[in-house]
Amino acid sequence: MHKVFTTTLLIVLNVICSTAQVKNTRIVEAESSGGKVNVAFNSKNSQYITASLGNAIYYSVNGGAAWERSAATFPAGAHSALIADSKGDLYYFLQTAEGGVNKIISYTSGDGGKTWSAGVPVNAESAKDQVAPNATLDDKNNLYLTYIQFDKYASSDAKCLSHVQLTTSSSGKKWSTPQELSQSPGNCIDDHNTVAGSTAVVSFDGKEYCTWSNQNKIYLDRSFNGKLWLTNDIAIIRQSEGCDENVTGGKRCSSAPVLSTDRSKSPYKGSLYLVWSDWMRSDQDVLFVRSHNFGDNWTSLLKINDVEAGHQYNPWLAVDQTTGYVYILYFNRDEEGMTDIYLSYSTDGGSSFKNVKVSESAFKTDGALNASCHVAAGKGTIVAVWTRSDQGKTSILTTTIKHEDLVKIK
């Protein structure tokens, strides 16, 4: 009888584990759905998490169970970036309009996002538009900020150009003279012929890399010493040109590429990872490639989502620099317009992935695929955040999960 009871209990526990859901927390009903949502957490204490959308910042001191909005005030803005260094200090970059020109302002916080420093323009002298900031750090906590510079944003003038810019800082308070990385400029209309989606990474050995999209291609530039960059950018991938404009919003068929690298002590140390979504069939898929030789060669396309129908789109990528595990967060919208959030993970350097649904319930989406998500990972903890639309209202949702618990979900 005891043996039968034990066997039954094990079966019940196995069923519970295999059907368990990830716990979601609503941070706030957002004032605006514009811009990109971001998340960062203190690697020394994962109970301290910070998220942002537009010019609003929220922080949690209990691992994401409860959230408060920072009392700091920021100028009106849409696109932003947020990152935490190894000491737990936070850096926030906000695209805002000053005198009719888009500028990127840098802020710092040493208390988990509760209070913030006065803003510092990263390139105050420029009269050109600066949009879509993205930030990364090297192993010494030096900051690398990329953005797209427009002669004049959204201009249809054929002479108006867009480029990738890179600037660096040791503290977020003083910034270097920006370097122009993209050899081939884009237009200024903000369509598939416009430079978009720059992300930079620094490898364990100090090599610097940056990717972006332009004219239906994903490009890579790199520097082995931080000074000399490639004379000719490497065209990695050809992107799609034909899609349903009602679904994509009429500007692009693919999302901006997201680049990361493995700086851990794993067997895949030094690998470069790239993810984006593209219109490969009658809808969008999340696609992934990796390089083991400094970006000279890349693997064949790997489709991350294992769902064939519907649209899988707007992914973000993070690497846990203590384990080398790769995490990709993305949206999955089915043919009825119901959307869920999936987290895909790889423990073998991106050779294979497992997909796990991390949204507790699906939500109805209408119109273009324009929501955003973000994921951060470190020391076995994964924090994901995304925007969710319900009946015309947008909310920010988040989940925090340990890798050891993630692998138990089926």
Express each pLDDT in 176-229 by its tens digit.
999 999 999 999 998 999 999 999 999 999 999 999 999 999 999 999 998 899
- Least confident span in 93-107, 192-206, 234-248, 345-359: 234-248
The pLDDT score that the predictor gives to residue 168 is 97
> Who has greater pLDDT, 205 or 242?
205
The pLDDT score that the predictor gives to residue 120 is 96
Partners of 398 in the beta sheet?
Answer: 25, 385
Mapping DSSP onto H, E and C, the string for 216-267 reads: CEEEEEEECCCCCCCCCCEEEEECCCCCCHHHHCCCCCCCCCEEEECCCCCC
Average of pLDDT values for 353-369? Answer: 89
Place 31 in a pLDDT band, splitting at 50, 70 and 90.
low
Q: What angle do CA 140, 166, 320 make, to 5 degrees?
A: 45
Six-digit token pair at 178?
A: 């920006």
The pLDDT score that the predictor gives to residue 340 is 96
Rounded CA-CA distance 348/80 in Å is 32
The pLDDT score that the predictor gives to residue 402 is 96
70-100 as b/e: b if 16+ CB within 10 A = bebebeebbbbbbbbbeebbbbbbbbbeeee
**pLDDT above 60 for 300:** yes
Confirm if 99 and 116 have CB atoms less than 8 A apart.
no
- The DSSP symbol for 240 reads P
- Least confident span in 57-71, 128-142, 388-402: 388-402
> Who has greater pLDDT, 218 or 309?
218
Rg (CA), the chain: 21
Six-digit token pair at 278?
A: 């593209």
Six-digit token pair at 299?
A: 């693997």
The pLDDT score that the predictor gives to residue 103 is 96
The pLDDT score that the predictor gives to residue 141 is 96
- Least confident span in 35-44, 89-98, 327-336: 35-44
C-alpha 230, offset from chain centre: 25
Q: Name residue 363's amino acid.
A: F
Average of pLDDT values for 223-247? Answer: 91
**pLDDT above 60 for 385:** yes
Rounded CA-CA distance 89/345 in Å is 27
**pLDDT above 60 for 278:** yes
**pLDDT above 50 for 249:** yes
Tokens 């209070």, residue located: 115
Closest CA to 173 of 86, 89, 56, 60: 89
Rounded CA-CA distance 88/226 in Å is 25
Closest CA to 358 of 340, 336, 376: 340
Q: What is the mean pLDDT of the chain?
A: 91
- The DSSP symbol for 186 reads B
Structural class in CATH, domain 25-406: mainly beta
First-to-final CA distance of the chain: 30
The pLDDT score that the predictor gives to residue 20 is 52
**pLDDT above 50 for 16:** no
The pLDDT score that the predictor gives to residue 153 is 95
